[in-house]
A = this chain, B = another copy of it.
Amino acid sequence: MKEKNLLAELAAYLFSNSDKESGRTPSERELAEHFGVSRGQIREALAILEAMRIVERRAKSGIYIDTKQASVEALALFARAGLPLDPVQIYETVELRKIHEIKAAELACSRATEENFERLREILKASEERIAAGEGLAKEDREFHLEIVRATKNGVFHNICSVYYLMGEQRLPIYFNDPERSVRSHAEHIQIYEALLRRDGNLAQALMSAHLQGAESYWKGIIEGRWVEPKSATLEKA
């Protein structure tokens, strides 16, 4: 088994192998030896981690990590890398989604073009097929919601959403494990699509709000006690 993702492994290693007091981590040379790669490789990964504000490299001193705070970029990275996320942070992203998407639905009503509607139809069709096959629709759900953001024609908006949507990526499949949930979501998506098509801003907002309420309650329930571990068993209770 080759190490596909040095970045993720390194980040995880640094988190667990750092001095709890100072945050000081093993040296570049030690890390290089531990991972069986050259120092250059380690430095490249550390440069990225530093740019993401995850670690701080102090010349002639050492590498320091602040385990208490994680930046957005860090969260996005972790999602990409498949590292576990704090359930509280997941809930927070859902709350943020609500803020974004309710407004996005309204804006999309006045700005969506035929291209957007075309994409939405494609996504809904794919969703239908997936449900017919008895599968959950994690991927299609994300695409549907992102396309609505895209329809606002605000590039920065879309970029930001793309980044933090990745955060929920690994948890989404669990949410859609329940087939009934997929069916209900799909039905709501269709309603939202129709509201957009009718350019009915108020209705679209209301539908989106109700649609997201489900997910919010779900995650809220999880952080309030009944936390279910998906696959990996190496998650701290935080």
Contacts and interface: CB of A to CB of B under 8 A. Distances in A.
Interface string A129-171: 0000000000000000000000000111101101110010000
Interface stretch (A20-28, A92-100, A117-125, A182-190): A92-100
Contacts of A155: 88-89, 92
Interface residues of A, number: 35
Contact of A48 (B51, B71, B156): B51
A156 B93 contact: yes
A103 interface: yes
What is the count of identical protomers in the complex? 2
Contact of A51 (B40, B52, B103): B52
Q: Is the interface of A mostly helix, strand, loop or mixed?
A: helix
Nearest to A106: B99
A186 to B, nearest CB: 26
A204 interface: no
A162 B155 CA distance: 18
A159 B75 CA distance: 10
A77 B52 CA distance: 10
Interface of A: 7, 40, 43-45, 47-48, 51-52, 70-73, 75-77, 88-89, 92-93, 95-96, 99-100, 103, 154-157, 159-160, 162-164, 167
